[in-house]
Amino acid sequence: MAGKVKITSSKEKRRNLINCVIAVIVAILFLFPIYWILAMSFKSDAESFGKLVTYYPHNFTLEPWIKNFQDAEFLSSLKNSICIAFLSMVISLVFGIPAAYGMGRYKVPGRKVFLLTFLVTQMLPASLMLTPMYLIFNKLHLLGTYLGPSLAIASGSVPFIVVTLRPYFKSVPTSLDDAARIDGCGVFRSFFKIMIPAIKTGVITVVVISFLGGWNDLAYSMTFNVKPDMRPLTANIYKFQSKYGTKWNCIMAYGAILVLPVILLFVFLQKYIVGGLTAGAVKE
Amino acid sequence: MKMSMAAKKRREGYTFILPGFIYMLVVLGYPLIYNFVLSFRNVNVKTFKGGTDVFVGLSNYIELFHNETFLMVFKNTFIFTIGCLVVQFTIGFIFALFFSKKFTLAGPIRGMILVGYMMPMSVTALLGKNMFDVSSGVINDLFMKIGLINAPVEWLLNGSTAMIAIIAVNCWVGIPFNMLLLTSGLTGISTEIYESAEVDGANPFQRFLYITLPLMKPAILSVLMLGFIYTFKAFDLMFVMTSGGPLNSTDVLGTYAYTLSFKQYEFSLGSTAAIILFACLFIVGLFYLRLISKEDD
């Protein structure tokens, strides 16, 4: 009897090991591009465009990173990226979170129409909005500003926030805000003091994802801000590609700098991001 | 005057919902309608400045469907979308099944491979451009080292291989995303059903065919439809990796609409192409909405 248990457990151990090995291989394949962008960014000029492909930097150098950070154009693009990401995030949160709360807690007439609107708008592609928005923003003098692209980006994040946070708000027990009301808390006070802290996990998710929505944007910023000095890093990729030519090490360092905040957020807040992605996309 | 409790509640609800809703109507709804209007007029850089554009009926639509480049772009969009869907769904499903097994590294690695999904698509595209480069690209080097090819392939320099490269890069993002969505469908199936099937003598293949697939049907459908919607509207990837080239062979509706509006300044034609893109999404979107609205209230 005891012997049999031992056999199955060693069999299970072997199966566990085999599965782990397969998983590691999958991870290596999928993470290789991330490794590659970093490896390229530390190579010398000659090594990065030579015919001989090297799998790690043979002459490790920080030069490509330094070159980017010494470049005034790069620094202004970085500033633009940060400004657009923050502005679009703030707009998204200000309009999105209260709407999610209203949709989750109040049975108002017309809520089906509201929900449908948010679900549909979440799926609209940027390329559909570029031309009309460009012409409208042109009349409103919003081209070449941070506000133009930020408004457009937020129109994608607001519905995401509503769809993601609505179930969170729904799941908070009503006794919680009833108690707050009895204690004399107004509607808005209980929204800020009770409800938002109660769904902290969800809020962190939408903060991160709406920030990344702005940080990752290419189409809107590129179209509405024609001049490079108001464009974020994503939209100036082209300019730097032609500037550096075949100096892939500098281009990759540029890309690595764009990816770095994403990786950091991902490493530290992974469970929030992953949870939020599923909540927003599929509902059983 | 005292409001009834219900009326007060309603007003509170609207106070929270309406700002967000109105934001969407103004920032997205209005341009969307304007886009339809544009597609029936002849707005280009000249007529826009002078305000001399006129109503032209369906002539923009007719012009596009008689334009060979547009037809090619239309076809490319479907080839790209279907290619991506097949690969990312199949591999994504296999990964979902594999990572739903209980082993030590299942959780951490499943999370780790999602990082590509969060990256700016423009950087992913840049990376793709580098990796698929003819002479200094790592893909050619690796494939030659393991004997898959004898000579470097000019991936991005000819049409059909450029499409393959684009699809491959997109799947790098799509596979983990499909895996994630399918995993959440898998975890909904109770293990008891599998155990009782095992007792009844069902082999793993039968269990997959008769238990997993039918129970996963809603999740599978929604992943496929969402996948279609997200893939069909691709823009950043082609824009940075190939600029739609060589010779429009990787141009899709999203990038072509941009070219019409912002390189040729034919705003009305650009909107028309975008409306056609929208129409395709709309059809699939309707099915998707019907599927998920079953759940509500």
**What is the interface pTM, i.e. ipTM, of the complex?**
0.90
Mark yes or no for CB contact B258/A26 under 8 Å. Answer: no
CB contact under 8 A, A53 and B138: yes
pLDDT at position A5 over 60: no
Per-residue model confidence (pLDDT) at position A52: 82
Cα torsion angle, A203, A206, A212, A217, sign: negative
Residue range B103-115: mean pLDDT, rounded: 86
Name the band, by pLDDT with cuts 50, 70 and 90, for residue A12. Answer: confident
Residue of higher predicted confidence among B48 and A277: B48
Minimal Cβ distance to A98: which of B20, B184, B292? B20
Nearest to A101 among B16, B121, B131 (CB): B16
User: What per-residue confidence (pLDDT) applies to A284?
Assistant: 30
Percent of the residues in chain B that have a pLDDT greater than 90, as a whole number: 63
Instruction: For residues A162 and A142, give the distance between their C-alpha atoms in angstroms, rounded to a whole number.
Output: 26
Asked if the Cβ–Cβ distance from B32 to A132 is below 8 Å, we say yes
- Listed range (A94-98, A262-266, B68-72, B185-189) with the worst mean pLDDT: B185-189
φ/ψ bin of B3: left (φ > 0), alpha (ψ from -120 to 50), beta (otherwise): beta
What is the pTM assigned to this prediction? 0.91
- Closest CA in chain A for residue B278: A128
CA–CA min distance A3, chain B (Å):
23
We find that the CATH architecture of domain B34-293 is Orthogonal Bundle (1.10)
Contact B24 A282 (CB under 8 A): no
User: Which chain A residues contact residue B271 at CB under 8 A?
Assistant: 131-132
Q: Which candidate, A228, A227, A224, places its Cα nearest to that of A240? A: A228
Q: Is A24 on the interface with B (CB under 8 A)?
A: yes
Would you state the pLDDT for residue B31? 95
Q: Is the Cβ–Cβ distance between A65 and A253 less than 8 Å?
A: yes
pLDDT in tens, B15-41: 999 999 999 999 999 999 999 999 999
Q: Residues of chain A with pLDDT > 90: what percent?
A: 57
Most confident residue range from A77-86, B40-49, B144-153: A77-86
> A56 in contact with B at a CB cutoff of 8 Å?
no
The partner residues of B55 in beta bridges, in order of sequence, read: B41
More confident residue, A147 or B113: A147
Residue A77 has pLDDT above 60, yes or no: yes
pLDDT at B145: 92
For an interface test with B, the pick among A131, A138, A147, A248 (most B C-beta atoms closer than 10 Å) comes out as: A131
| Domain range annotation of chain B | 34-293
Q: Which pLDDT belongs to residue B91? A: 96
Question: Tell me, what's the pLDDT at A3?
Answer: 41
Contacts of A148 in chain B (CB under 8 A): none
Q: Residues of chain A with pLDDT > 70: what percent?
A: 94
User: CATH number for the A72-281 domain, one of 3.90.1110.10, 3.40.50.1580, 1.10.3720.10, 3.40.50.970?
Assistant: 1.10.3720.10
* Predicted confidence (pLDDT) per residue in A139-155, tens digit: 999 999 999 999 999 99
Upper half-sphere CA count for residue A145 (Cβ side, 13 Å): 14
Q: How confident is the model at residue B118 (pLDDT cuts 50, 70, 90)?
A: confident
Cβ contact A215–B104 (<8 Å): no
Mean pLDDT of chain B: 90
Please answer yes or no on whether A23 and B255 come within 8 Å at the CB atom.
no
Task: Compute the count of residue pairs across chains A and B with CB atoms less than 8 Å apart.
Answer: 286
Q: Choose among B9, B31, B126: nearest Cβ to A133.
A: B31
Confidence at residue A72, expressed as pLDDT on a 0 to 100 scale: 93
pLDDT digits (tens, 9 = 90+) for B170-199: 999 999 999 988 988 887 777 788 888 888
- Give yes or no for A36 touching B (CB within 8 A): yes
Whether A155 contacts chain B with CB within 8 A: yes
Domain positions in chain A: 2-41, 72-281
> H/E/C letters for each residue in A116-175?
HHHHHHHCCCHHHHHHHHHHHHHHCCCCCCCHHHHHHHHHHHHHHHHHHHHHHHHHCCHH
